[in-house]
Structure 1
Amino acid sequence: MTTTDIGAGVRSARGGAGSTPTPGLDPGPRDVEPRGPGPGSLPPRARPTRSRRWPAALTVLVAFCGLSVLLFRDGWTDLGGTVYGGGDAVLFSWYLGWTPYALTHGLNPFVTQFLNVPDGVNIMWSTGVPLLGVLAAPITMLAGPLVTFHVLTTLAPALSGWAMFLAVRRWTAALPAAVAGLLYGFGPYLIGASYGHLHLSFVPFPPILLLLMDDLFVRQRNIRRTGVLLGVAVAAQALISEEVLATSAVVAVIAIAILCLQYRDQVRARAGAAIRGLAICTGVATAALAWPLATQFFGPQRVHGSIQPPDVAVSDLLTFVTPTPLQAFGPDFAVRESLTFTGNAVEVSGYLGLPLLALLLFIAVRLRHNRLVALCAPLAVAAAVLSLGPHLHVGGHNTGIPLPWRVLELGPVLHNALPSRLSLYVALAASIMIAIWLDQAQPPRIRAVTVGVSVAALVPLVPASLLAFSPATPAFFTGSQVSNALPEGSTALVVPYPYPQQNVAMLWQAQAKFRFAIPGCYCTVPDRNGRSSFHPEPDPLNSALIAVATGASTADDALRQPGLRATFDRFDLDAVILGPSDHRDELVKLLTELAGGTGRHVDGVDLWLLDTP
């Protein structure tokens, strides 16, 4: 359930006011009379130098980081104790702890035997963000995985927005580019993804892709270097989110198709260089991803079929004009309407609002001769249509009317992507259109009106205060008692048993520095038929533990369940650990009977040490 955009975008060298290549669409070899200054063209006296660009870029970065800290302020006032995203936050904290642990202990970071004992987990089928785990390893080793998760959650919108700023800065002045970064980095998509979906909120890749595709297909400069950089970017994104990589590729193909239609006479002249660059990109990315992809498709615990249910997490037709609980100024009746849409609130992320939609339509018509607007307007429409999913939903009802995504979801990888998440690319295209409009506003009086209208259109997108949660961790897992009680490499049954609705045991394991392996998990694992599941197959033990913990069963009823004792013995456990939980007395009764004796209370947990055979 949250990938950023960072671009080394620098404005191309400028000649006179009319000599700047038009945005991303340099006319190239054609002798075309320009229809006016290209977006971002400035009079010679206003042309920023390289030395003046970077102070502006750093100022924007600091401002975006400040906004992000304000947005996630509850987590900063209780660093390491409060995070955003519920069980998904626990899941990503576990991944961020696992990657540096595996690498420093000579283990494969893409699989683990520390979860889902005895079968383990192929992390490449989950959202393991291994690249972020490596980059943030110093924080994890110093302060723990929860702190790392919160730091990255805070950095995600700031760096994503900054990447968009750097990309758009190639074609506009600093202020319009900053507005583009603000809309991209702090719009509804990123805010929704910030609720625990780190792989979706850390999205600098799409703006980077924008710059590199401009270099490869339009400017066609230094094809070898561009191909290498594109391959590195693709590999990096694959190690953060394969889903974002796949959907970015789809949108890039659509953008290329639009360009080919608009500039048919240039396709043949440019195709050779573009193909060479893509070949280099493919070689670099394949070499860099050989190990993780081999693990994913040929390693243990691989899954088949769709991971997510189809036709649920889609953009409703009313999504684009209906605010959700994630917006600060949404009328109550509209917010209630958004809750009727299929999928959960954090996935309903395509909201733009009527004012912004009207402004974008105006820009598309008013600046239709601007080459970047001519690209972004149909691209935004295409991404919005794809986000509607395989069938049209209106007001929370599936009409059954087929849509283009129905064809795309038949392909590899894309059948695991959630269509609603393509709202990221709607935001990207809209951001560029707004920036171009602001950049071209002349003279000062017109510019003031333009800024005012833009602000009015963006106000409905202001995010509401985010809801945080504070997972409690008993001192046993963070102090010396865990190492005194359990030798490294032990297997422990930790209760509450970890499954999607309650996975805090995974956090406790990570905070104990992976001292022990545990049954259960909230990860993508194969069921008995090889199809994907977010938890292990039900068995008498996990069924009993979940039923008692949720109050659906008593300990006495659970103990009468056939096969319970045999399943417990099959795990060859070294210990049983009961942390804070609902229905604790019933769980103590159940675990005491299974362990064959009374446990002892140690630093906030009940501990049973078992005699191994």
Structure 2
Amino acid sequence: MRAVEEVVEGKAEPRPEPPAPRRSRADLGAGLSYLSLAVLVMIQLWRDPSGRVLASNDDDHGVFQFFLAHGERVLFHGDNPLFSDRINVPDGVNMMANTSVLAVSLPFAPVTHFFGPAVAVVLLLTLGLAGTAFAWYWVLSRHLVTSRVAAWIGGLWCGFAPTMISHANGHVNFVSQWVLPFIVWQVLRLREPGRQWRGGVVLGLLIVLQVFINEESLLFTAMALGVFVIAYALMAPARARQDARHLLAGLGVAAAVAGALLAYPLWFQFFGPGNYSGQPFAPDKYATDLASLVGFARQSLAGNAELTRRMSVSGTEDNVFFGPVGFVMIVASVVVLWRSVAARATAIAALVLLVASMGPTLVVLGHRTSVPLPFGLVSHVPIIDLVSVTRFAMVPATIAGVLLALATDRVRGFTPRGRRLWQVGLVLALVPLFPKPLPVVEADPLPPFIAEGTWRQYVTDDRSLVTVPLPEVTTGRAGVRWSAQTLLDYRSPRGYFMGPVAPPLDRTGSWNAPRRFTSDLLWRVREYGVRPPLTAGDKARITEDLIFWRAAVVVLVPGSRNEGPLLDTLTAALGPPQQVGGVRLWDVRFLPVPPNE
């Protein structure tokens, strides 16, 4: 048996490979099983991708349609991949400072173009789950375990653990982790003599690819590898000193390759238009609950949504939730592998990131205790302050799958009774975590004004279409969806994206465009149903904002919350509306268009 410490420490003899036909059949079976499970998870959305939205996260479902539509515009219209001027008119959006998934939106642009962004989103979510599982299966089966069953179990956990199912609620970036296993393996292989140049170049290219999928996951992986290396060096200093020269040389090559290719994109992200720093929430707002280690996620077979809500920040952040038996099996895996220095270092890396995910103070069953945690010491460090703390737990969730695979491979050498006991434990751990199909809700149908392209009679490319409610992080979702469904053919103001809260004085990150009089006014009307009396000065400020937004037409979204008060407010400001294509609209093309800056 090829133990993990033999792989990492370079002691392993070449292992006999099974015959190619049998290996190919095993690979095909693994891939098909993962794909089938991914389709099951997304089946409710597959039934009507354009007519349904994910119930737990329609906000991000819509914003990733926008990101994919942006990829379509880059490929088919020559737009700037790093910047979009189609939303947040006139300021635009820094796409490098947002999770624009360019590494998948560009290759899948033909799908988006011919079938629409809604189909592209569900396809990428499905392939992300299945692809992540198969990538881990591939690395495990080729390099770390001899048993295809053990590799399959590891891939199953890594691709379909509760954290992955949770993020499948719209987070294309977080379920597309199929590059990370190869990054990890390339880093481990750099310690081999003679691999510094070739391995370093390959690693650098993989890093570049991952940056254009999700920088957060890359950061988490780098942190885990850093902790692993430190822990390994402390426990096996002689071996670490022997490998250090090769490892550091390879990392230097990788850094040079990645740095050269990413220099301008990263400059644009941190210093280009629309850059920001920090998050619009405190570091301890979204943290992992200690009780979630043994709880069940809401989308697990044994999950209870009401109980899960006490241990989770949202339906998209069930980042641990191993279940009681699952947690015991993870601990048992560490015990089984304890003689391996590499396995112990891996477990330490998982533990460090798990503790980091718990934030500055311990949270238990939704109750914030006064127990301080180490993350409070680094919560404001640059780069660290850009991530959501609870997502650090995605790394130990993945490491748990790797440890399960390694331990399952090792127990093949145990007594029959020991093997049976392990197999029973795996069944009791995995079955309750089996994922349920993600819930969806019916989306409001596009009005003919949008669906039939009637808007083209009003909106030219130098103007914008203003939807009310205005698109914001938690409101105006229809406006975001309308824009994405037209493949961003028209420009629109505001939107859901990350940008500076009040530039140039305050560049703190915000999920909304900078505040304006009209956006604040209409938000209050929508939220509270008030009909504010408008003075001449108020009307002048509304006109000023419409000019700023380069508005051609203002459209009231049918069926909006407090639609009556919104209609009354717009009528008081702009006069009686027209009824065109199933919507009420106000034609404001008589307003001047400010010159482009």
Check whether TM > 0.5: yes
Matched, 1:275 2:248: yes
Query: Bigger CA drift: 471-480 or 226-235?
Result: 471-480
Supply the AA of the counterpart residue of 1:520.
R
Cα gap change, 1:279/1:483 in structure 2, threshold over 3 Å: closer, same or farther? same
Is 2:377 the partner of 1:383? no
Residue 288 of structure 1: aligned partner: 261
Following superposition of structure 1 onto structure 2, how do residues 367-406 of structure 1 map, counting pairs within 5 Å? 367-406=337-376
Tell me: CA distance 1:604–1:59, structure 2 relative to 1, closer, same or farther (3 Å).
farther
Which piece of structure 1 moves more, 373-382 or 423-432? 373-382
Tell me: CA distance 1:288–1:307, structure 2 relative to 1, closer, same or farther (3 Å): farther
Alignment of 1:59-78 (within 5 A): 59-78=29-48
Q: Distance in 2 between matches of 1:117 and 1:194?
A: 30
Amino acid at match of 1:578: L
Q: Give the CA deviation at 1:262.
A: 2.7
CA distance in 1, matches of 2:469, 2:85: 20
- Shift of the 560–460 alpha-carbon distance from structure 1 to 2, 3 Å rule, reads farther
Q: Quick one: percent identity of the two aligned structures?
A: 25
| C-alpha contact 2:229 2:345 (8 A) present in aligned 1 | no
CA contact (8 A) 2:463 2:550 kept: no
Q: In structure 2, how many angstroms separate the alpha carbons of the residues matched to 1:290 and 1:104?
A: 26
Deviations 1:33-88 (A, max 9, x none): xxxx99xx97x5xx414554333222211111111111111111113222322111
Residues 314 and 343 in structure 1, CA contact (< 8 A), matched pair in contact too: yes
1:513 CA drift (Å): 2.8
Of the structure 1 ranges 598-607 and 287-296, higher mean CA displacement relative to structure 2 is found in: 598-607
Q: Which one-letter code corresponds to 1:590 in the other structure? A: T
- CA drift of 1:445 comes to 6.1
1:26 equivalent in alignment to 2:9: yes
The aligned residue for residue 595 of structure 2 is none
**Aligned twin of 1:245:** 218
Deviation of 1:578 (Å): 2.3
Do the aligned residues in 1 keep the contact of 2:117 with 2:487 (CA within 8 Å)?
no
In structure 2, the residue matched to 1:33 is: none
Q: 1:477 aligns with which of 415, 440, 450?
A: 450
Which segment drifts farther, 519-528 or 409-418?
409-418
In the TM superposition, residue 249 of structure 1 has moved relative to its aligned partner by: 0.9
Report if aligned partners of 1:72, 1:466 keep a CA contact under 8 Å in 2.
Answer: yes
Q: 1:2-151 alignment to 2 at 5 Å?
A: 22-27=5-10, 47-84=17-54, 85-151=57-123
Residues 419-438 of structure 1, C-alpha deviations (whole Å, 9 max, x = no match): 22122221222112211222
Structure 2 distance, partners of 1:559, 1:338, is 51
Correspondence for 1:530: 507
Q: Does 1:179 align with 2:153?
A: yes
- Alignment correspondent of 1:350: 320
Does the 8 Å contact 2:522/2:566 carry over to 1?
A: yes
1:357 CA drift (Å): 2.0
Aligned partner of residue 278 in structure 2, secondary structure = coil
The structural deviation recorded for 1:373 is 3.0
| Residue aligning to 1:426 | 396
Equivalenced residue count is 579
Contact 2:227/2:349, CA 8 A, preserved across alignment: yes
Displacement of 1:21: 7.7
Q: Which residue of 1 aligns with 2:275?
A: 302
Q: By how many angstroms is 1:559 displaced?
A: 8.5
Checking the alignment, whether the CA contact within 8 Å between 1:540 and 1:564 is kept in structure 2 is yes
Shift of 1:160: 0.9
Q: Is residue 193–residue 200 contact of structure 1 (8 Å, CA) maintained in 2?
A: yes
Equivalent residues of 1:83, 1:469 under 8 A apart? yes
Deviation string 1:522-579 (CA, Å, 9 cap, x unpaired) is 1112122222211123322112222333343226569984733433344332112222
The amino acid across from 1:434 in the alignment is L
Q: Which of these residues, 520, 531, 545, is aligned with residue 567 of structure 1?
A: 545
8 Å contact kept, 1:100–1:137: yes
Label 1:470 to 1:382 Cα distance change in 2 as closer, same or farther (>3 A).
same
Change (3 A) 1:208 1:405: farther
Indicate which of 414, 428, 436 corresponds to 2:384.
414
Q: Give the unaligned 5+ runs of structure 1.
A: 1-16, 29-36
| AA matched with 1:517 | R
Distance 1:358 1:207 in 2: 25
Aligned to 1:543: 520
How far apart are the structure 2 equivalents of 1:532 and 1:224? 39
8 A contact 1:347–1:421 mirrored in 2: yes
Cα displacement (A) at 1:253: 0.1
Pick one of 570, 573, 580 that aligns with 1:601.
580
Mapped partners of 1:165, 1:326: distance in 2 = 23
Mark the CA change 1:265 to 1:542 in structure 2 (over 3 Å): closer, same or farther: same
- Partner SS for 2:580: strand
CA displacement at 1:452 relative to structure 2 = 2.3
Do the aligned partners of residues 366 and 113 (structure 1) sit closer, same or farther apart at CA in structure 2, a change above 3 Å counting?
A: closer
Q: Does 1:519 align with 2:510?
A: no
Report the Cα distance in structure 2 between the residues aligned to 1:27 and 1:558, rounded to whole angstroms: 78
Equivalence map 1:470-509=2 (5 Å): 470-472=442-444, 473-502=446-475, 503-509=477-483
| Conserved 8 A contact 2:288-2:357 | yes
Q: Secondary structure at the match of 1:135?
A: coil
Question: Matched residues in 1 for 2:212 and 2:266: separation?
Answer: 10
Q: Distance in 1 between matches of 2:7 and 2:557?
A: 57
User: Among 572, 578, 582, which residue is 2:561 paired with?
Assistant: 582
1:610 is matched with which residue: 569, 589, 593? 589
Q: Within the alignment, does 1:321 sit opposite 2:304 as a pair?
A: no
* Between 416-425 and 271-280, the greater mean CA deviation after superposition: 416-425
Unmatched segments (≥5 aa) in structure 2: 593-597
* AA of the residue aligned to 1:470: E
1:468-518 superposed Cα distances (whole Å, 9 cap, x missing partner): 133322233232323344333421211221011123212211222323211
| In structure 1, C-alpha distance between the alignment counterparts of 2:297 and 2:77, rounded to whole Å | 45
Separation in structure 2 between the aligned mates of residue 324 and residue 560 of structure 1, nearest angstrom? 52
CA separation of 1:498 and 1:282: change in aligned 2, threshold 3 A: same
Find out whether 1:210 has 2:184 as its counterpart. Answer: yes
Read off the aligned partner of 2:519 and give its amino acid letter.
Answer: N
Q: Give the match's secondary structure for 1:568.
A: helix
Q: Which amino acid in 2 is paired with 1:211?
A: W
Greater mean deviation of Cα atoms: 174-183 or 99-108: 99-108
Which residue does 1:152 correspond to in 2?
Answer: 124
Aligned partners of 2:406, 2:4: CA distance in 1, in Å?
14
1:408-452 per-position Cα deviation (integer Å, ceiling 9, x unaligned): 333321111122212222122211221122223246665444322
- Normalising by structure 1, report the TM-score: 0.88
Post-superposition shift, 1:166?
A: 0.9
